[in-house]
Structure 1
Amino acid sequence: MQRMIESTEYEVVGLVTTYSESKSLVPIQATPIEYVRLQAQAMELPLLEIKMADQVSNEVYKNTLLEGLANWTVPFDAIAFGDLYCNGIVEFRQKLFSETVIECVFPLLIEEQIDLSREIARQIINTPIRALLQSINLKHLEEHCCGADYDNSLLEGLPECVDPCGEVGEFHTFVYDAPFFKTAIRIHRTEQERQTYHHGREMNMLVQKFEASLP
């Protein structure tokens, strides 16, 4: 988001997210859709919410996403993604929009190297963008990392095999304050919960639950 806001080529006009129709959560990240709404309110941007059934095929995902975007009342001609690596997901997204006039933008795209990812992580922290680790993959991280602030102390303690930006699914974050927020989101951490996802492979996740609100 910071890169797109600073861009002289693009103007950010809105946000888009998909979420589980049955659980009202953003898939994998386990972010409640109402908290994504708070982020949009904090940025004073319209949010397009696209409902998805659980465990949909790529074809159903594509059709549902494109239909939602086609019916959005906000005029736009490009969509930006936060992917870092060309490890299949970038190509998937490009193919998804190949038959449309929508441009895919990847402002963070780099070579798949830990040092480059660590530099982006430092930039995020120093901006400063404040976030917590909302969910972690227990295959890669210890339980104490769940709910921790995404800061320099956390980065220094990550195992060498873990991508500093969590780009390989090691963890997912929730941003609660940033320069592009008009006001910070107040958070209060509560309980943690284990969840299992089957996203091509089984993933055992630990999720930090929390209460969130705007002042």
Structure 2
Amino acid sequence: MRTVLSWSGGKDASYALDEMRRDEDVHVEGLLTTIAADTGRSSMHGVRRELYERQAAAVGLPIEFVELPSDPTNEAYERAMAAAIENYADRGIECIAFADLLLDDIRAYREEQLSDTDLDGYWPLWDRDTASLAADFADRFEATVVSVDGDLFDRSFAGRTFDARFLADLPDEVDPCGENGEFHSFVRDGPIFDESVDATTGETVTRPVGDGKFHYCELLTPNEPAP
């Protein structure tokens, strides 16, 4: 099954890639990431394109980017993704994998968007227990929490290592995998990596997102000065 993985660079996507590489029926051929054309960053993670490229090289897979306009409409997003999916289909890709775990409405939306294409959707982590997955991930991978919902977390959570202590400090209403968008991460090392991705934490900034706010921790590459 020739597959591309929708890639956030975070823990769920990394865990999904590890699972797929264990499956003899799945051949992962590449990663697909959306970034803003004006900033070169992912919207919710705030991670720069360069870091995604370093990450992809470390896991040994090509990465392709869908560039979106600043504050894109849903229609603009769907057009951009439809073009990417059509391109994959022309190249013989059969499936696009998503690391969603439990949100039925998100899965239904993705299935609807794929319904008129030649690609099938694939959910390698679907319906997994998020507490167990988060604990296992923390044992086997290294990741930095790069953004957190400011209505649920104070600024100190941005930039923390995703580990057992972080999980123990989560507010009761927060899913251990952040499945409701409460926080996002960037994975630096683990069983899917040929080498670790060097990245240190820099400044934390707060930006409005929708009706709320998120705290973002900048990730810096080696020898890169803080802004």
TM-score, normalised relative to structure 1: 0.90
Tell me the equivalent position of 1:206. 215
CA distance in 2, matches of 1:65, 1:154: 34
SS at match of 1:179: coil
Q: Within 1, Cα distance between the matches of 2:179 and 2:121?
A: 19
| Length, aligned pairs only | 206
Give the equivalent residue in structure 2 for 1:95.
Answer: 112
> Runs (4+) of structure 1 moved beyond 2 Å?
54-60, 68-75
Contact 2:143–2:162 (Cα < 8 Å) also in 1:
yes
CA apart distance, 1:74: 5.5
2:170 to 150, 158, 161: 158
Of residues 104, 110, 133, the one that matches 1:120 is: 133
Runs of 5+ in structure 2 lacking a partner? Answer: 1-16, 223-227
User: What is the CA distance between 1:121 and its match in structure 2?
Assistant: 0.3
SS of the aligned residue for 1:29 comes to: coil
Whole-angstrom distance in 2 between the partners of 1:101 and 1:148: 41
State the superposition RMSD in angstroms: 1.7
Select which of 38, 57, 64 maps to 2:54: 38
Distance 1:180 1:30 in 2: 22
Bigger drift between 140-149 and 53-62 goes to: 53-62
Correspondence for 2:28 among 3, 9, 12: 12
Unaligned runs of 5+ in 1: none
| Map 1:66-215 → 2, pairs under 5 A | 66-72=82-88, 75-110=92-127, 116-126=129-139, 128-198=140-210, 202-212=211-221
| CA distance in 1: counterparts of 2:109 and 2:49, whole angstroms | 24
Letter in 2 for 1:193: V
**Could you give the per-residue CA deviations for residues 75-116 of structure 1, whole angstroms, max 9, x where no partner exists?**
4211111111134111111111110121111111117xxxx2
After TM superposition, give the deviation of residue 53 of structure 1 in Å.
0.9
Is the CA contact 2:144–2:160 (under 8 Å) kept in the aligned structure 1? yes
CA contact (8 A) 1:137 1:206 kept: yes
Aligned to 1:49: 65
CA contact (8 A) 1:14 1:74 kept: no
| Bigger Cα displacement from structure 2, 158-167 vs 66-75 | 66-75
1:134 and 1:82 map into 2 onto residues whose CA distance is 18
CA contact (8 A) 1:86 1:109 kept: no
TM-score, structure 2 length as denominator?
Answer: 0.85
Instruction: Give the number of the structure with larger relative contact order, counting CA–CA contacts within 8 Å between residues 6 or more apart.
Output: 2
